[in-house]
Chains A and B, each alone.
Chain A
Amino acid sequence: MTNNQLTDSGHLRHFLTIEGLKRPLLTEIMDRAEQFSSITNRQVKKVPLLRGKTIMNLFFENSTRTRTTFELAAKRLSADVMNLNISTSATSKGESLLDTLHNLEAMHTDMFVVRHSQSGAAEFIAQHVAPHVSVINAGDGCHAHPTQAMLDMFTIRRHKQHFPDLRVAIIGDILHSRVARSQIQALSTLGVGEIRVIGPKTLLPSDCQTLGVHVYHDIDEGLRDVDVIITLRLQNERMQGALLPSAREYFQCFGLTEEKLQLAKPDAIVMHPGPINRGVEIASTVADGPQSVILEQVTHGIAIRMAVMSMALGSQSELAEGSTP
């Protein structure tokens, strides 16, 4: 994909995918998030940076965590934020996506945060918005979920610091996971030593090798000596598609249990983008155990989203007429 998410001077204008972004930009997102996370320790947990900006959360697909943390991030930056649950609004009355969009634009929106079940939806919207509007992808189909990947990188960096020394394993349904796709791109851009994917053949993409990852169908082998374990949610619809026999059998083969966790390094961290299916991809004792950083990931989501929103809206000044950078 061409990098239409950057301005001419290389600043973030939209945030649609990790693909094509360079390491310094990913590092800048994490550094800025680090600064924003200190705001939480104050009496007034917000800064006036985006005061007067209007942000629309356009969620064509359900979400609790992502939508809430985007909303909180916008509020901590003093932006006005609206949540639109599109499945219950105008599109269900027959209005086209672009008509909905242009109507919201006419309300002087500065940013759209888009979640859609269709891959490429956020990019489509980014191509059709007015020049002064930024678009953030909050998950599109099986394609990308870049803010989730960045909050995961941020969580890893908080615990492990130096990416090239790390061995990271992602377990589960890589094939249908926009989270895994964005994570793999981010991990490899940040120069992680080894990326492993672990799962049944039916849930791994056929072109896995070209992603620069090592493929394991045996969880015991795959977890050996890793520093970071990322478990992915097993979506129920995969079972219906006959890709898997049953949740119980999946847990026996690929569920992360305390016993299997022992195979990783003693200080390995366990991550999950949520929502978790206890007893399907991860045992409760692991999800709630001392090596789990799952709730930290949620907290970090706010700071990462503050960073991305402020960077994208900040670059709009470059587009303003007659401005000098």
Chain B
Amino acid sequence: MTTSISNIDTLLTSMANDIRHQLSDKNILLIGIHTGGVWVAKALAELLGEDFFDGSLGTLNIAYYRDDFTRIGMHPQVAPSDLPFSIDDRHLLLVDDVLHSGRTVRAALNEIFDYGRPASVSFAVLIERSGRELPIQADIIGQSINLTDEQHIKLSNGDSGLQLELRSND
């Protein structure tokens, strides 16, 4: 693990290669987690070409599945979940920007199973950082980074495209 972030295009290309290598014969459905995961999923779909994934991109808003409602209440609004396909007996690729505690993935898996029963779910993430609080791991990883609790990494999508920003609380 390192603490310097590689070029984002390099990370995406390497992820796309891994996806092609591991999942190309599975007729995969692609699902991004709002908001950063949707950006990453779109970038991957572009790199892999129109025909690689079956159907259009699904999006998940896990706000109603979080475990911190009692502590922090409603989250700011983001677009609702939209899975424009049946997931029953299908292989899914779930995508997020950063894997940290693992709680978001736990919530996303719970929500997915309220839509149906997929054959399998794989998980791809741009940045895997230290600090897991649940037994969850990614199958496809852009880069692994070792960060302290005070450090945060955030993906943004501005005029110059996707960008990763590393910040410290102190």
Contacts and interface: CB of A to CB of B under 8 A. Distances in A.
Interface of A: 11, 28, 31-32, 34-35, 38, 42-44, 46-50, 52, 77, 310-311, 313-318, 320, 323, 325
Nearest to B83: A42
Given A314-B69, A315-B73, A317-B73, A49 B114 contact: no
Contacts, number: 57
Nearest to A38: B80
B73 A49 contact: no
A232 B80 CA distance: 34
A314 B63 CA distance: 12
7 contacts: A47-B65, A47-B114, A48-B110, A49-B65, A315-B73, A317-B69, A317-B70
Nearest to A46: B114
Contacts of B9: none
Given A314-B73, A316-B73, A35 B61 contact: yes
Contacts of A315: 73-74
B151 to A, nearest CB: 20
Contact of A314 (B65, B74, B115): B74
A43 B116 contact: yes
Interface of B: 61, 63-65, 69-74, 77, 79-82, 110-111, 113-116
Contacts of A50: 69
Given A35-B79, A46-B114, A77-B64, 20 more contacts: A31-B77, A32-B74, A32-B77, A34-B80, A38-B80, A43-B114, A47-B64, A47-B65, A48-B65, A48-B110, A49-B65, A49-B69, A50-B69, A52-B70, A311-B74, A313-B73, A314-B69, A314-B74, A317-B69, A320-B70
B73 A38 contact: no
Given A11-B73, A317-B71, A38 B64 contact: no
Lowest 10 A-B CB distances belong to which pairs? Answer: A314-B73, A47-B64, A314-B74, A44-B114, A317-B73, A35-B80, A49-B64, A38-B80, A317-B72, A42-B115
Contacts of A28: 77
A226 to B, nearest CB: 32
Nearest to A50: B69
Nearest to A317: B73
Contacts of B79: 35
A34 B79 CA distance: 10
Nearest to B75: A314
Contacts of B113: 44
A157 to B, nearest CB: 15
Contacts of B64: 47-49, 77
B80 to A, nearest CB: 4
A320 B116 CA distance: 36
Nearest to A311: B74
A50 B65 CA distance: 10
A38 B61 CA distance: 12
A310 B74 CA distance: 7
A15 to B, nearest CB: 14
A159 to B, nearest CB: 20
